[in-house]
Structure 1
Amino acid sequence: MRKYFLLLFLLTAFAIKAQKATQTSPVFQLRIYEIFESNKKEFHERFRDHAMRIMKKYNFKIISIYESKSDKKTEFVYFLEWPNEATMKKAWEDFRKDQEWIDVKKMYTEKYGDVVGNIEDRVLAKLNYSPN
Structure 2
Amino acid sequence: MNFITILIYSLLFHFPFMSFKKADTRVFELRIYHCNEGKLNDLIARFQNHTTKIFERHGMQNIGYWLPTATDNNSLYYILAYPDLASREASWKAFGSDEEWQKVRTESEMNGKIVNKVESIYLNATDFSPAIKKSIKNPERIFELRTYTCYPGRITALETRFRDHTVKLFKQHGMTNVAYWKTIEKDAANTPKLVYILAHKSEAAAKKSFDDFRVDPKWVAARDKSESNGKIVEKVESVFMKPLPFSSIR
Could you state the TM-score of these two structures normalised by the residue count of structure 2? 0.40
Equivalent residue letter for 1:99: E
Q: Is the 8 A contact 1:32 1:77 kept in 2?
A: yes
1:32-111 correspondence runs (5 A): 32-70=32-70, 72-110=72-110
Give the aligned partner of residue 113 of structure 2: 114
Q: Which residue of 2 aligns with 1:11?
A: none
Q: Which residue of 1 aligns with 2:129?
A: 131
**1:76-107 Cα distance to aligned partner (Å, 9 max, x none):** 00111111111111001100111111111111
- Aligned residue pairs: how many? 109
More helix by share: 1
Q: Which residue of 2 aligns with 1:19?
A: none
Distance 2:74 2:113 in 1: 14
Structure 2 unpaired stretches of 5+: 1-22, 131-250
The alpha-carbon distance between structure 1 residues 36 and 59, as it changes in their structure 2 partners (threshold 3 A), is: same
Equivalent residue for 2:213?
A: none
The alignment yields a C-alpha RMSD, in angstroms, of 2.2
Distance 2:101 2:108 in 1: 11
Residues in 2 aligned to 1:26 and 1:41: alpha-carbon distance in whole angstroms: 30
SS in 1 for 2:90: helix
For residue 92 of structure 2, give the secondary structure of its aligned residue in structure 1: helix
Contact 2:40 2:75 in 1 (8 A): no
Unaligned runs of 5+ in 1: 1-21
Give distance in 2, aligned partners of 1:73 and 1:85. 29
The residue identity in structure 1 corresponding to 2:113 is: D
User: What is the letter of the counterpart of residue 73 of structure 2?
Assistant: K
Asked if the contact 1:68–1:76 (Cα under 8 Å) also holds between the matched residues in 2, the reply is yes
Q: Is the 8 A contact 1:33 1:76 kept in 2?
A: yes
Distance 1:87 1:101 in 2: 19
Q: CA deviation at 1:69?
A: 4.7
Q: Which residue of 2 aligns with 1:31?
A: 31
Q: Is the 8 A contact 1:32 1:121 kept in 2?
A: yes
Question: What one-letter code is carried by the residue in structure 2 that aligns with 1:73?
Answer: N
CA contact (8 A) 1:27 1:125 kept: yes
Q: Does the aligned pair in 2 maintain the 1:26–1:83 contact within 8 Å?
A: yes
Q: Percent identical across equivalent pairs?
A: 24
